[in-house]
Amino acid sequence: MIPRQISGHIQKMLKQFPVISLTGPRQAGKTTLLRNAFPTYQYYNLERLDHRTMIISDPVGFLKTAGTNIIFDEAQNLPELFSYIQVISDEINLPGQYILSGSQSFLLNHRISQSLAGRVNVNHLLPFDITELGMIQNLTIFQTILNGFYPRLYDQHIAPDNFYPSYLQTYIQRDVRTLKGIENLNTFSRFLGLCAGRIGQVLNLTSLANDAGIAVNTAKAWLSLLEASFIIYLVQPYFHNFNKRLIKSPKLYFYDTGVVCSLLKLTDQKMVRTNYLYGSLFENLVISEILKHQYHQGKQPSVYYWRESNGIEIDCIIEQGNNKLMALEIKG
């Protein structure tokens, strides 16, 4: 198992908070991390009907009998449990009692804010970052962009053109249709592909909606879903010392370049190298690495860009605290 950067941070937070949550995209390695980093914790997968049935039949009795040091994986599937965890964790009043993990962060975080606010430390695990891989794969930058960073590609040596279509189909079928009730999956898939073609660009919501054949409000809702699913990230403009000439719309990026390449039908590194979007793909790689580094250190992202209406632009601005900024120009 490749060690994950966030593991040490979670260990530290378990000494300070009664409940820890870990969210992130599907197959980012959450279950593997938790089961290997915390082998003494009891483990329950709440996607399993038998686990849910056993717990919900008598949640108070279960929690009191099982004690603490429990991992509840895919915890958003049993939202009724959260209020009981609140009561029991308050009674015990010790750190490190429960770890809640889930892929549908939009559901899990909503449940947490309702029942466990102030008691839980929230963390996010994304696919591997370059530091975690240690560049041991000895790949070209083009192959790195094509592969992306999902653990299964490296653990099981799966080709990206086999992994990502299946991954995206699972995401669309399970998270988009089942959880959000979006019926026109073909239109959503087209929308997702159009987003991939706009990486590194200032978001023009009207143009995106028109090209997808949907209403602007629908496009907003679908972008919010993609953000909450850790598929895309919208980098906001930096507004300090605001002036009217600044561009005010966000720029669109994906968390993983392998997902983008799959959506763009890029299947080998030559196609990546010669594609008209290569510069944007490289920029996306850099931005996503910065985001992963910050999340895996237990920090909230502080990444922005700057563009004035006259064309003056800074690709990336990172807030470093103490009123310090780092400005980056990204060239592939």
Measure Cα distances from 230 to 179, 217, 225, 233, 288 in Å: 15, 20, 9, 7, 11
- 310-325 pLDDT, tens per residue? 878 899 999 988 888 9
The dihedral formed by the CA atoms of 236, 238, 239 and 240, expressed in degrees to the nearest 10: 150
- 198-213 pLDDT, tens per residue? 999 999 999 999 999 9
| Range 263-285 average pLDDT | 97
Looking at residue 103, its pLDDT comes to: 81
| CA pair distance 285, 290, nearest whole angstrom | 9
Domains of the chain: 6-124 (3.40.50.300), 135-328 (no CATH)
pTM of the predicted model as reported, rounded to 2 decimal places: 0.92
- 93-118 pLDDT, tens per residue? 999 999 999 887 666 777 777 778 88
Q: Which of 169-173, 280-284, 294-298 has the lowest mean pLDDT?
A: 169-173
Alpha helices for 57-159 (secondary structure H)? 59-66, 80-92, 105-115, 130-133, 141-147, 151-155
